[in-house]
Amino acid sequence: MKKKKILYTMLPLVILVWSFVFYQLFSSFFGTPNYAKEEFQQEVNIAEIKKDTFLIVADYRDPFLGKKRKVSSSFSSSPSQGNQPTRNIKAKQPKAEKVWPTILYKGMIKNNNSDRRVGILNVDGKEFLIKEDDTVKEVTIVSIGKNAVTVRFQKENREITK
């Protein structure tokens, strides 16, 4: 008898909860949508808008070159010139010659079926498989021999031995 009493009290409660769930479900799919009906209009006075000015500070390290960029201002802010753009004119300086990279010749591999030679060259700590007329880190391979390789860097030839 006690079990039937709990059943009779819980059954209306469960029916009430499920009816609320189905009502919410059907009203969201089949009911009329409630749109905002109030319109909001704002007038904008164009004369009051001020010109936005900004300055980009690009003094970060270049991720590809690994060097910091030098930022030079191309605009003068002196009041006598009226903020007119000015150009920085620099005299062209001859390019300084770069230092030769560290080059080590490891050896040569020759294919017996053809006369093609492939060498192993270490340039600045990195090894490369090279052929004649290849360019590795601005170093051009002129010729590959059994015990030496001839390379060109900035129009200067050198012979690197094992």
> Tens digit of pLDDT for each residue in 58-108?
777 878 887 776 655 554 444 444 445 555 555 555 666 778 888 888 888
Q: How would you classify residue 81: left for phi > 0, otherwise alpha for psi between -120 and 50, otherwise beta?
A: alpha
Domain boundaries, the chain: 103-161
pLDDT of 76 reads 45
Q: What pLDDT sits at residue 85?
A: 52
Tokens representing residue 111 in the block: 């294919």
Find out whether 148 and 141 touch, Cβ atoms under 8 Å.
no
CATH of 103-161, one of 3.30.56.10, 2.30.30.830, 3.40.710.10, 3.50.50.60: 2.30.30.830
How far from 146 is each of 52, 100, 102, CA to CA, in Å? 67, 23, 20
User: Model-level pTM?
Assistant: 0.39
Each residue of 136-162: pLDDT tens digit?
A: 888 898 988 888 999 998 888 888 888
pLDDT at position 18 over 90: yes
Q: Is the pLDDT of residue 19 over 80?
A: yes
